[in-house]
Structures are given as C-alpha cells and as structure tokens.
Amino acid sequence: MTQMDKTIAVVKGLIMDGIAKANSGHPGGAMSSADFATILFSEFLNTNPDDTKWFNRDRFVLAAGHESMLLYSLLHLQGLLSMDDLKQFRQLGSRTPGHPEVNETPGVEATSGPLGQGFAVSVGFAAAEAFLREKLGADVMDHYTYALSCDGDIQEPVALGAASLAGLWGLGNLIVYYDSNKIQLAGPTCKADCTDHRKVFEGFCWQVLEVDGHNHDEIRAAIKNAQLEKSKPTLIIGHTTMAKGCASLEGSHKTHGSPLSAEEIAATKEKLGMPVEDFYVPEDVVESFRSRQDGLRQNAADWQAMLETKLKDADFAEMWGHVTKPRTELTIDWPEFTPGEKMATRKAWGTCLNSVMDSLPTLVGGSADLDPSNQTQHFRDTYGDFGVDGYGSRNLAFGVREFPMAAIMNGMQLHGGLMPFGATFLTFADYCRNAIRMSALQKLPVLYVFTHDSFWVGEDGPTHQPIEHVSSLRLIPDLIDLRPADAMETATCLDIALKQKDMPSTLFLTRQGLPILDPAEYPNVTDGPRKGGYVIKDCDGTPDLILIGSGSEVSLCLETAKLFKRNVRVVSMPSTKLFDDQPESYKNEVLPPEVTNRAAAEAGRTQLWHKYVGLTGVVLGVDHFGASAPGQILSDKYGFTPENFARMIREKY
C-alpha cells in the first residue's frame, strides 16, 4: 500500500464514520470521488495554509455538494477542521452542515447542493479570475478553479448552459472533474441518460480527458495536462465505481443517499487495510498530507512581497483599490434628471449605467440577449464582450441563458474583486429563481435588473407580462426588492444595491414612461427609498386616508389623492424588505396605526399588500394573467386609473 493509498483509505473511513454517526448522508459518491479529490488537495491545490481568503489561491467548488463529508475530511487533513467538527456532521450549529456552506466552514468556497449550480458557479470563478488577470497582471492573479462534478450535476441543464459559455470564453484555468460513477439516487444513470459527454463538451469547445478515476497516475497526468491547456476549459471524465472499496456494496445505488451499516463499515475498513477504529487518522497520514504547506506559505509570502512592490505604481494601485475597496465605501455620482419629463425606469437605469460605468471599472455584467430592451447596449458597445473581445472586456453576453447567468454571477461575486449584474425581463426571473435564492443564502450582493415589470409590456401578451413575479421574489429571505417610482428613485435604488455588503438586490423597472418627480415638490424622493417606504406626499394634520404605491403606481396614487377633499397621505414603497427592516417607531410614523383607512396599488398580485392596508383594506392589483394589447388599453381595462382607484376607495371608506 502506497502512502496515497493509505491516505485515501483514511479519507474513506472518515466519510463512512461521519455519515454513520449522523445517521444521514451520501457515502457512495464521496467514496468514488475520493481518489481524485485527495490527490488534488494534497499534491496540486495552491493555497495559503494560514489564510483561507488569500487572494490568489486556487478555488475548489464541490459541485456535488452531497459529497460534503469528502470535503470536510480533506479540510480536516489540511488542519482547518477539528475531529470534533467531523463528529458533528449535519448537527445543529456545527461547521460541517449537510451541504457545504460558504459562511460556515473555513476552506469552503461556495454553498453547493442544488445540482448544476456548483458547476455554473465555477464558471463564474474562472471568469472573474480571467478578468482580474487581464487587469492586474498574471503575477497578481493567476490561479486555477477546480470543480468536482457528478452525474446528477451534469444532468441539470444549468450546468450545460454555463459550460457552453465557458467554452466560448476560453476559460483555460477552469478544470472540472466529472466523477462518472454512472449511479444516481434512483438507480443507474442509463435509466435517465444516454449522453456522450465527450462529444457534448468537445462541441462546447472544451478539452476533454478521460481517465480511470481510481488510477492515481492517470489522475495526476490529467490534472497536469489540464493545467497546460490555456485556451480551453478542461473536463476530466473520471470513470469510477460507486462506493469504491466497499466490502459488498460497490456499485450499488443504495450507497448514494443512506449511511452504511456498522457491519459494512467494519468489513470495508478491513478490506482497505485499516483498523476498525472510528474516525481513525494516523499521524503519518497527516504529516504526508501537509508536507507541501511550508512551500505554500513561502509562495504566498513571495506573492505578498511582489504585490507590495507593484503597489508603488500609481495606475496599478488605483485599480487594486477598485478591486479591494469595500462596497459600503463607494462614492457614486449619479446623473441628474429633469422633473416633469417622462422616462421609463428601465431608461433611467440605462442612463445611470452609462453615467457611472467609467468610474466603476470592476462593474461587469450584461443581459440575457436583451441588450437594447435592458438598456445595456451602450455598455456592451463601449467595453466589448468578455472572452470574445478579450478578457478585459466588461460586458457578459450571456445569450438566452437566464439561469446560468444568475449562477455565474454568484461565482463571480464569491471570487471577489468584481461587482456583477445581470439583466432580463421580469417574467423570466423564474428561470433565475433558484440562483437568486442562492445569492441570498450566500449573502452575495449581486444585482439583478428586471425590466418590463408589469402588464404595461402590452402587445407581447400574457407570456411576457409579469403578474406574480414581484410578490414571489419578495418571499425570498434577505433579498432586497427595489421597484422605483421614477428616475430619481431609480438612481437611489441603484445606489442602495451597489453599496450592499451581504444582500442581493432585484431591480424592477418599467417599459412605459413615468413622470420624473420634482424634488422641490417631493423632497423625500431622493433619500426616502433608503428606508424602503416613506411619505412622498403628506397632508396637513393627521391623514384620513393613506395611499401606498410601488413603482409605476406611485404616480397613480399621487393623481388619485387629488380627487379627494379629505386629508390624504401618499407613501412610496419601493422596497418592502427595507421598510420591514426599519424600527417599529419609523414604520408607525409612516403608517400610523390609528389611521386604518388605507389603500395600496401595484400592477401585480394583491395579497402581499394586505400586510400594510389590513385584511379588509383596498388593494388595486392584478390577480389574473394579462392579454395581448397596448399597455394603455390594458391599464384602462384593469382599472389602473385615478378615477377607478378613487371609486374603489370611496366604496370602502
């Protein structure tokens, strides 16, 4: 038995023991991937043993997140997790949760678990590395991104969409290992898949290498060959056996999602040449695994010394400042708008983007093939398409790939140094939804720009007219919803989003023109959105009626208020999330509890607004699908007029 054989046997023992103690987990895939992952971590991965956030470290994404006990075992051998951590696998409050979580465990680069997204996230890591390498120099930024994928991971279409972009962009520093054990939870993959992955990925412009995933020399050679290929990402297909090394369950799908029995574990350890002892880690395995660490420390120290020298150059120092400056410290000069004119908030977003893009050189992003509609065309034309026009180009031409777009942005944000945004029509937010959820879960300040935010889209009809989408996205915890009332609010909402530290933002923008509000008449319009909801138009004394509007319906509320002779307060609420997070005293100041005559308007589902107007309060909204017709005709048909809104209120109050 070689030292590597012994190390891998120890890793497999930890996998089996941790899962058995938790009585929950996925041993089979973790054991089939153990050869590759152990060799990668012990012989190839370039890290700083004393700083898991070292800027130029190699990134490793466990796309097959259910194999988490494999990663935790390797992190233990690295010295980042204790034995007690391994013994607390899947327990409340532990550093070893069921799937890797980036904010819980040192050495974990991304929260993974939803299959397909880890693959796409690794593409985002590699894209960020390529951009920063171009901007900072290869001596500062030149690392590999590795991902460990699996059959189920590759089956998710989001992975294939991201793979297509990675090939187009020529991300040579991306190396994905596909553990092809041909087993998934329900049984053999042949029951659900007939894909020739070599043909598919070569068609995506990848280098494809195939190895025996249990042959250590073939694994080492494949990693070295992948590192040498600089113009294409590499897929290493490792042909493996599920639960490799098991005494009687090798190749069985029963090992995918269930702990092994005590008897099977004991027999397997005997087969692997190990003592039956639980959580067995001999000192020679630890010493061998960490034998590179002094060299890695020196490498990181040399890099730091080189960086200090480069920082003496003013141009480099300026760019380095943009890369490393906390977003909360950004100072952004937003454009001015002319009160009284009409402008769609999507146009206001485009105006803002065009105005600040030169001063924010790490702002990168693009549209899912809707550049003119999403107002990103000038950004694209100015800076070029990333990968196609060079790695310093800032526009990401995602194509019609909304889900990969969102997951790739998560990877770019996780990498660090960039401010990613992505845009599409709001009705297609459903395609992005799980990645948006992962943005919130991982505390990533990614910006999602959703235009064409209501039935005002018009002639494109119900397939393109969002109804439930804003309300649906508001259900995701720790996601900032931003639906500005005009161009002034749009600039403020963007300022809020770009200065976020740990929450993603969704910007909901109109296709139709809206009147630009005059700060002289509405003095709170510029800063009010920072608290989510604010009084945009007040009355003398205690209001008899409060009207609440969001986005395009704020103007409707202002016009409706003019039709009443009693005291009416109008509240603009661009963000229910930010408003709900305010102190109770502020919320009561804006919406006094004693004023129960309330009405709300939003061109979307009505249910959420009863939280603010009461169960029996008036809500003007849309609880049905739209129709193909000009927006103004639909507005009249659905009652989005001051006269109809006033009628509804008078009938109630």
Give catalytic residues, as residue numbers: 402
Q: Which helix (H) or strand (E) holds 131?
A: helix 117-136
Distance CA(416)–CA(436), nearest Å, equals 18
Which among 578, 596, 20 has a CA at the least distance from the CA of 255?
A: 20
Give me the long-range contacts of 492-497 (CB less than 8 A, separation at least 24).
492/334, 492/526, 492/527, 492/528, 492/529, 492/530, 493/529, 493/574, 493/575, 494/334, 494/349, 494/352, 495/332, 495/334, 496/529, 496/530, 496/575, 496/578, 497/445, 497/447
Which among 604, 551, 596 has a CA at the least distance from the CA of 569?
A: 596
Which among 156, 158, 153, 175 has a CA at the least distance from the CA of 120?
A: 158
DSSP letter string, 346-384: HHHHHHHHHHHTTT-TTEEEEESS-HHHHT-HHHHHHH-
Distance CA(75)–CA(61), nearest Å, equals 13
**Pair of tokens at residue 107:** 């050495």
Which among 465, 243, 486 has a CA at the least distance from the CA of 351?
A: 486
Distance CA(151)–CA(200), nearest Å, equals 14
Strand partners, 178: 149, 237
- Which residue matches tokens 């694209």? 380
Q: Tell me the CA end-to-end span of the chain in Å, nearest whole number.
A: 84
Q: Which residues have CB under 8 Å from 373's CB, separation 6+?
A: 346, 367, 425, 451, 452
DSSP state of 188: E
Cβ neighbours around 298 below 10 Å, total: 10
Contact at 8 Å (CB) between 220 and 43? yes
DSSP letter string, 192-234: T----HHHHHHHTT-EEEEEETT-HHHHHHHHHHHHH--SS-E
DSSP state of 505: E
Question: Coil, strand, or helix at residue 618?
Answer: strand
DSSP state of 344: -
DSSP letter string, 379-422: HHHHH-BTTTS-TT--B----S-HHHHHHHHHHHHHH-S-EEEE
